Each structure stands twice: as structure tokens, then as C-alpha cells.
Amino acid sequence: MIASKDIVQSLSNDRSKAKIQNLVELIDKEGPDFIEFFAEVDRQKHPVKWHMTWLLTHFIEKYPEVGRSIQLSMWKLLKAISNQSMLRDLWCCISHIEINDEISGEVDAFATGTFTSQKHAIAVRAHPLECACKIAKPYQELRDEMALFLKPLKNDDSAGMRSKSKNWLRAFSD
């Protein structure tokens, strides 16, 4: 397994896109120790702390099945931070996986509160919108409720939020 301290050292020296891709491949090849990884995120200061969540985003985008197995750790970290970049990264990770029933209600409530809040940057709001909509999709009652939140977003200042809300409203009506 690749040691988290080696990941930290690597990210401290170079956080280029190429380095991130190399680390993703190395983690996949050598096997991740995500318990230690999340403990290391807690120990680090910014910007390395954020670089670690950025790396995690790239890993989960490529290997979403791994994300499902570590979603409780990602969720715990997401609830504990306030850094906008880390929030964006962790919401992005969670938006790429199927949320398990154990936390889906809590994720849905937090996601809805986040994507409807103007205190967050657009980049932070977009991913929780995806999470909440994916959770709601199989359930007509939740889709109807989510539509109440999405309709006002059709007039949002952000083109991305307008587009996402329209796309989900269309998906919910199909």
C-alpha cells in the first residue's frame, strides 16, 4: 500500500494535473489505505489538506466503485469542514457514487441545504444538487419535493445551475 505520508510528500512538491494522475494510478496499483488517508487529511494544514481531497476527487471519478466503500469517511469529512475548495471536491466525490441507505436521508438534507444556499460558490452548489437529485430520482414523492427546489433555480444567476435544474426537472418528468 502507498503510505499517506508519501502522498503528502508528493503533493507538497508538485500538485500538477500530471502528478495527480500519476498518484491516482499509483494508488490503484499499490492499493489505498483510506483509513490512514483520511487520518492524514485531518492532520494536514492547507493547502496540502485541500490537495489531498483534490486527489481523492480524481481517484473517485476514475474508480467510483471504491467511492462507495469509503463514502462514510468522505461524508464524515465533508460535514466537518468549511473550506470551499474541499467542500467542492468532496461533494464531487459523493456525486459520483450511489449513496447507501444508511446516510441517504442525511446526505439529501445537507445537499439540499447546500445547493439552495447563496453563501456557497457555484462550484460547491452544483455537486450537492446532483447528489440530492440522484437520491430523489427513484421516488416520486422525493422527485416532487425536489422539483419545488429546482424550479426557482431555472432563474439562477449561474448558467450551470439553471442548466442543471432544467435537466433534472426534465428527467423527473420523464
Whether 133 and 81 map to the same domain: the answer is no
Hey, what's the cell of 124? 460547491
* Distance, CA of 126 to CA of 115 (rounded, Å): 7
Q: Which of 98, 119, 148 is the endpoint of a domain?
A: 98
Instruction: Kindly state whether residues 84 and 167 are assigned to the same domain.
Output: no
Q: Are residues 113 and 152 in the same domain?
A: yes
Supply the pTM of this predicted model: 0.94
| pLDDT-derived band at 174, boundaries 50, 70, 90 | confident
132-147 residue pLDDT tens? 999 999 999 999 999 9
Residue 79 sits in the same domain as residue 138:
no
31 backbone φψ class: left, alpha, beta (φ>0; ψ -120 to 50):
left
Query: For the CA atoms of 70, 74, 12, 126, what is the dihedral angle to 10 degrees?
Result: 120
Range of the domain at 109: 103-174
Shared domain for 117 and 142, answered yes or no, is: yes
DSSP string, 97-156: SPPPHHHHHHHHHHHHHHHT-TTS-HHHHHHHHHHHHHHHTT-HHHHHHHHHHHHHHTT-
Phi and psi at residue 157, in whole multiples of 5°? Answer: -65, -25
SS3 call for 46: coil
Instruction: Give the tens place of pLDDT for each residue, 77-129.
Output: 999 999 999 999 999 999 999 999 999 999 999 999 999 998 999 989 999 99
